[in-house]
Amino acid sequence: MNKIFRNSLLMLAAGTFVASCADYNDLGGFKADPDPTYEMPYADLNPVKTYIDKANYPNMSIDASIQLKEFNKQALNHTAAITNFEGVDFGYSFMPADYVSKKGYMNFMDLKEALNHISEIGANVYGCPIVSSDKQADDWFSTLTAPIEVQVLPVDDKEVDYSTATEFTGHADRGKPTIEVNYDDKGNALKIPKRSKVNIIEDFDIDPLGYYTVTFTVKSDYSKEENINCTFSGTKVMSGKEARKYTIRPNAWQTIKVEAAPAEGVTKGYLMIEGNLNAVLYVRNVKVSHTPDNHRDQTAEEIKDTITYAINKWCDGLMEANAGRIKSFDLIDRPLDTKSLEENPDIFDLKHATDKILWQDIFGSEEYAPVVSKAASAAFAKHGGDLAELKFFINETGLENQKKFESLKYWMNIWEAKGAKIDGINAELNLSYSEDEATQTENETTLNTLLENLASTGKLVRLYNFDIKYYDADGATVSATSITSEQRQKLADYYAKVIKAYMTKIPSNQQVGISKGSLYDTSDPVGLWTKDWVRNATYEAFCKALSGK
């Protein structure tokens, strides 16, 4: 059942509503509250999307970016998006890091809720990245690629038999241990005076991942029980009811077992005993053994098999939730690094990492796009999607940099040659307007070059994060609270110029559309609405530019 918009939220915006707005908010039976507020001189404008000149630009679309959870609240930003734009994207708000647990459980409830609603009202959705170098399910990958348990056998490390010893050669921090010759009919024994602190065995190598067992036979000359402390290679060992205490019974030989892991950084082993306040102790046989770490690292082939399972599971879960409704996705999100290839300094390498799993590091830089493309396509078809409608894009930012643009083309050509499906480029923008004439001329030249480069690929072209920041002639940022009406109009005119440049420089058959980043002003005057949801000059600029005026 559709949610009911909260009229009280709309009343937060100052201004008047016009009754005719209800006509364009009737979305297949779903009634959206009127578009957030109208004030002169923009009160008579229709929804932005109605101005697109479909006769001359049949493939042109205007989308809105909105956070997934915010969209599902169906509040003001949702209203503005669905009444004014042909589609939405959820940006980076639906990524595996947020929706895949450490054990691989995938929660698609938010996505399903949004898609169910979007299906009801007949809107479009541009999909999240299938894979990315950021916000991936790193915890899940760590679980999947963790070392494997293997069977191991104990290792004997050292044994000291004081029954045949004639001299104590070990270390004592306190007290003067000696060899008691012919202590009994079993032979000699190590004699440890009261209040001593003695290593009864030492100088054996330490496996930092091993777990150690030390056993020793001991006898007390005290008529009562005596408690001692044991420290194994820097680790004080816990035993019995009292912390780190081992109880020695009176006048009887007994075997004490100490189990512990060495302290971090210790390389030589020892067992020290102390705390015999009342008793002289006699020690005879001491043995040390350890169980090595029962894990081994996965081989490269095992990790590749594991991550192949992961990409198939992720794609299957995503496409099952999608059920063929989203038809365009970013196949790969921002793959390029800022470092050049060693063998080709004119081309940027892909991102790589040593501290986490990246798809390209497992499948190979040239092979991972085809692997992801195949997995995502198969899952899309399996869950009701029409492969003829499926479109994959590569998202990248900073493509106004010529080297970065050429690098993206280089990698796309390799991936396609190896079987990847790549239909378009989703170019993430970083635009600004400057009151300095020379700077603004450079801004516009850079934009035009970017669009011409994108058009030259023959691929579909989508512009993403279409927000423009405003700078004065001195290069200082002009905020949303300080911008004047005159400055706002200059900014609006530049928005219109960018839209027109896209519609004229990108051939109609390559146009996919533009996605607006922020619908309303943030700290920057980037919105079609103010923070109070009042239309501004940018709203009008969008309408005029999309109409071809």
Confidence band, pLDDT 50/70/90 cuts, at residue 184: very high
In the block, which residue shows the tokens 């038999």?
161
Helix or strand run (H / E) with residue 427: strand 424-428
Confidence band, pLDDT 50/70/90 cuts, at residue 548: confident
The secondary structure of 66-82 as a DSSP string is --HHHHHHT-HHHHHHH
CATH class belonging to 155-295: mainly beta
Among 114-123, 234-243, 466-475, the range of highest mean pLDDT: 466-475
**What gap in Å lies between CA 61 and CA 327, rounded to an integer?**
15
The secondary structure of 129-165 as a DSSP string is EEEESSS--HHHHHHHTSPEE-----EEEEEEETTS-
Of the two residues 516 and 235, the one the predictor is more confident about is: 516
- pLDDT at residue 529 above 60? yes
Q: In this structure, what token pair is assigned to residue 177?
A: 């241990």
**What gap in Å lies between CA 107 and CA 35, rounded to an integer?**
32
| Spatial contact of 441 and 496, defined as CB atoms under 8 Å apart | no
Length of the chain: 549
Query: Per residue in 98-107, pLDDT tens?
Result: 899 999 999 9
Q: In this structure, what token pair is assigned to residue 136?
A: 């991936």
What's the confidence (pLDDT) of residue 30? Answer: 57
What's the confidence (pLDDT) of residue 41? Answer: 87
What's the confidence (pLDDT) of residue 33? Answer: 56
Question: To 10 degrees, what angle do helices 368-382 and 300-322 make?
Answer: 40
What's the confidence (pLDDT) of residue 243? Answer: 53
CATH for 66-146+299-428, among 3.40.50.720, 2.60.40.1110, 3.20.20.80, 3.90.950.10? 3.20.20.80
What's the confidence (pLDDT) of residue 549? Answer: 73
What's the confidence (pLDDT) of residue 23? Answer: 41
In the block, which residue shows the tokens 């009292």?
242
What's the confidence (pLDDT) of residue 81? Answer: 94
What's the confidence (pLDDT) of residue 5? Answer: 38
- pLDDT at residue 2 above 90? no
Average pLDDT over residues 110-134: 95
What's the confidence (pLDDT) of residue 287? Answer: 98
Helix or strand run (H / E) with residue 472: none
Of the two residues 122 and 329, the one the predictor is more confident about is: 329
Tally of CA atoms within 13 A in the half-sphere of 545 that contains its CB: 23
Average pLDDT over residues 133-144: 95
Coil vs helix vs strand at 515: strand
| Spatial contact of 126 and 87, defined as CB atoms under 8 Å apart | yes
Among the listed residues 90, 4, 88, 84, the one whose alpha carbon sits nearest the alpha carbon of residue 36: 84
What's the confidence (pLDDT) of residue 234? Answer: 92
**What gap in Å lies between CA 416 and CA 419, rounded to an integer?**
5
What's the confidence (pLDDT) of residue 404? Answer: 98
**How far, CA to CA in Å, does 466 sit from each of 67, 116, 188, 536?**
15, 27, 87, 16
What rounded mean pLDDT belongs to the chain? 91
- pLDDT at residue 29 above 60? no
What's the confidence (pLDDT) of residue 367? Answer: 98
Instruction: State the span(s) of the chain assigned CATH 2.60.120.260.
Output: 155-295
β-strand pairing of 87-89 with 124-132: parallel
For the chain, the maximum distance between any two Cα atoms, rounded to a whole number of angstroms, is: 112
Confidence band, pLDDT 50/70/90 cuts, at residue 412: very high
Query: Per residue in 299-328, pLDDT tens?
Result: 999 999 999 999 999 999 999 999 999 999
What's the confidence (pLDDT) of residue 17? Answer: 31
Question: How does DSSP classify residue 7?
Answer: H
Q: In this structure, what token pair is assigned to residue 94?
A: 């639906």
Q: Which amino acid is at 68?
A: L
Query: Per residue in 204-263, pLDDT tens?
Result: 999 999 999 999 999 999 999 999 999 999 998 866 555 557 999 998 999 999 999 999
| Spatial contact of 503 and 60, defined as CB atoms under 8 Å apart | yes
- pLDDT at residue 28 above 70? no
Query: Per residue in 332-349, pLDDT tens?
Result: 999 999 999 999 999 999
**What gap in Å lies between CA 235 and CA 229, rounded to an integer?**
11
Query: What percentage of the chain reaches a pLDDT higher than 70?
Result: 92
Question: How does DSSP classify residue 85?
Answer: -
**What gap in Å lies between CA 502 and CA 450, rounded to an integer?**
10
Instruction: State the span(s) of the chain assigned CATH 3.20.20.80.
Output: 66-146+299-428
What's the confidence (pLDDT) of residue 10? Answer: 35
Average pLDDT over residues 191-204: 97
What's the confidence (pLDDT) of residue 386? Answer: 98
Alpha carbon of residue 117 to chain centroid = 27
- pLDDT at residue 56 above 50? yes
CB proximity list for 146: less than 8 A, separation 6 or greater: 295, 298
What's the confidence (pLDDT) of residue 31? Answer: 57
What's the confidence (pLDDT) of residue 300? Answer: 95
- pLDDT at residue 58 above 50? yes
